[in-house]
Structure 1
Amino acid sequence: MNDDGKDLIKTIQRSYPRLSKGQKLIAEFITKNYDKAAFMTASKLGSKVGVSESTVVRFANALGYDGYPKLQRELQELIKTKLTTVQRLEMSKDYTNEGAALKKVLKADMDNIRATIEEIDYEVFQKVINCIFNAKRIYIIGLRSSTALAEYLGFYLNLILDNVRVVTSGVSDVFEQLLRVGKDDLVIGISFPRYSSTTLDALLYTKEQGALVVGITDSQVSPIASIADYTLTARSNMASFVDSLVAPLSLINALVVAVGMREKDEISSTFNKLESIWEKHHIYNNKNKP
């Protein structure tokens, strides 16, 4: 089966003539309401169109998927880049009250972390750690909602290493900040749906300059994955107008810890010095300190 969710609707259209009557009802509903179908269970989808759950499973098989969850995953990939914020807001109607929103969002975040654990490529993770230590300079770029992730990664890597720079969308243009990037440098690009075109353009530029590119994104079919030399994925599925960045942040935490453990003796000295500075200048509230 194809890996690109954008081809799913075409697949359904090509398969339509040979589908059963019940399967055609499912096909018609998904084609018109893929944004809603993406977050329906097989049972709920069957109930919505008036067919059995087993008919929904057979429909997925007829399209070439090994079960309904695989079809549902590709539907979710499809909506990531197609839905506007307004459309995603419409999808939030299931959050009928504050209690429902709390439970659904926390459960979705838990599911994203579980999926990330199952799908992470540990060999690639190790290679990325090696790239961090081998780089002359490290540039980190993440714009829009990924800005928080880029700043967080930059903050902690800067405490461990002395060659890290976070590329921002502030006064200085993104490309001006990347002006001196070269073949000995590492660029870490962070991008989650809806993907920032500026981030992608910046990574293409750094690639042209010979820099090594690491992508942190949501899937191997993300546009950033086609640019990156190494791609680390973390799930960010959320049936709402906000992005779920819990799994991506957890992945970044793992990166920082792995880097820190390799430099354990060095950072121990660094943090001892920092603790003295923080205490001297009252950076943290120590009123309850014994």
Structure 2
Amino acid sequence: MTNFIEKIKENYPSFSSGHKKVGKYVMDHPQSVAMNSASQLGQEAGVSETTVIRFCYALGYSGYSEMQNEVRKHLIFQKSSLQEYLADKEGNDPHPTFFVRSLQRDMANIQTLMEKINMDDIHLAARKIYDSTNILVTGVRTSFAVAHWLSFTLNIIKGHSHLVQPGIDDINYLLTTVDSQSVFIAISFHRYSSMTLDLAELAKKQGAFVIGITDSALSPLRELSDILIPINLSTTSTIDSAPAVFSLVNAIVAGVTVIDKESIEKRREAYENFYPGKFLV
């Protein structure tokens, strides 16, 4: 099946000057196409909205929406994160400077996250978690470690937090506990798990406030989340982006703790004063 890039290349020589502007812009800025309306795309490409729509017709699409959906799918399912991770490390020796560069990249990713993320969304996420009576967190494959840490830590400082593990938990029972006072945190990155998406959809239908933590604003979680928190890093490698993701969820947890310091302090004291004998190592 011919994708939009191949269609543009094939038809480019016969395009009008306006269509060539649109074609070049679509190929150079596919993420902008995926996020913006035909009118916005026309403004950025320097043409009218009508020209953008006629450009879509020229490529055989029924309209702008059809082309936009194809661009979105292309961005979501481009090369695998593991492939990108291994390719980035190829040719490097385990020399001390290599490890320094790796740590510097992690620092740069966290800095990028700080610059691009919506802090109001982080604040709202922390408030919703604090106000909730039931917190469910899920994430599979590369997202599992983050989901486990977040659920465990929230359970220490807040309580009523449960890690949803498909294949282990009774999902049907867990979903019966979900209501309008619940928060469902779905963590999913490139090669998005259909299980995570299905659980988020079911939780939303039950009335839960859904917080999506993901890699991009184009993630399928965007349609299911009340708050979508994309890390917006250039890499699709979830392995390389993990330090920034852990930093993000740690910031959310920190935000929960400062809302009511007295209550959190009482919970800390109870937690640390409990001595279960041989089970405490």
> Aligning the two structures, in what range does the TM-score lie when normalised by the shorter sequence?
0.5 to 0.7
Q: Which residue of 2 aligns with 1:81?
A: 77
Q: Which residue of 2 aligns with 1:185?
A: 182
Q: Which residue of 2 aligns with 1:50?
A: none
Q: Secondary structure of 2:213's partner?
A: strand
| Pairing partner for 1:231 from 182, 204, 228 | 228
Is 1:209 paired with 2:206? yes
The CA deviation string for residues 206-231 of structure 1, in whole angstroms up to 9 with x for no partner, is: 12222211111112111112210111
Q: Which residue of 1 aligns with 2:259?
A: 262
Q: Structure 1 residues 95, 196: closer, same or farther in 2, change over 3 A?
A: farther
Query: Contact 2:187/2:213 (CA < 8 Å) preserved in 1?
Result: yes
Q: Which residue of 1 aligns with 2:137?
A: 140
Distance 1:113 1:252 in 2: 12
1:89 deviation in Å? Answer: 6.0
Q: Structure 1 residues 228, 276: closer, same or farther in 2, change over 3 A?
A: same
Q: Which residue of 1 aligns with 2:63?
A: none
Q: Secondary structure of 1:214's partner?
A: strand
Q: Structure 1 residues 85, 131: closer, same or farther in 2, change over 3 A?
A: closer
Q: Which residue of 1 aligns with 2:158?
A: 161
Question: After superposition, where does 1:48-127 map in structure 2 within 5 Å?
Answer: 64=45, 81-84=77-80, 87-88=83-84, 91-92=87-88, 94-99=90-95, 102-127=99-124
TM-score when normalising by structure 2: 0.68
Query: Contact 2:84/2:237 (CA < 8 Å) preserved in 1?
Result: yes
Question: After superposition, where does 1:244-259 map in structure 2 within 5 Å?
Answer: 244-259=241-256
Q: Secondary structure of 1:244's partner?
A: helix
TM-score when normalising by structure 1: 0.66
Amino acid aligned to 1:137: N
Q: Structure 1 residues 271, 281: closer, same or farther in 2, change over 3 A?
A: farther
Aligned pairs, number: 231
Distance 1:145 1:86 in 2: 10
Moved more, 176-185 or 244-253: 176-185
Percent of aligned pairs with the same amino acid: 29
1:201 deviation in Å? Answer: 1.1
Distance 2:187 2:180 in 1: 20
Taking only aligned residues, the RMSD between alpha carbons, in angstroms, comes to: 3.7
Moved more, 108-117 or 171-180: 171-180
Q: Secondary structure of 1:83's partner?
A: coil
Q: Secondary structure of 1:194's partner?
A: coil
Distance 1:278 1:9 in 2: 63
Query: Contact 1:112/1:247 (CA < 8 Å) preserved in 2?
Result: yes
Q: Secondary structure of 1:268's partner?
A: helix
What runs of 5+ residues in structure 1 fail to find an aligned partner?
1-6, 20-26, 32-62, 66-74, 285-290
Q: Structure 1 residues 126, 12: closer, same or farther in 2, change over 3 A?
A: farther
Distance 1:14 1:131 in 2: 50
Moved more, 141-150 or 103-112: 103-112
Moved more, 7-16 or 262-271: 7-16
Q: Structure 1 residues 166, 83: closer, same or farther in 2, change over 3 A?
A: same
1:255 deviation in Å? Answer: 0.7
What runs of 5+ residues in structure 2 fail to find an aligned partner?
17-23, 29-43, 47-70
1:108 deviation in Å? Answer: 3.0
Moved more, 84-93 or 251-260: 84-93
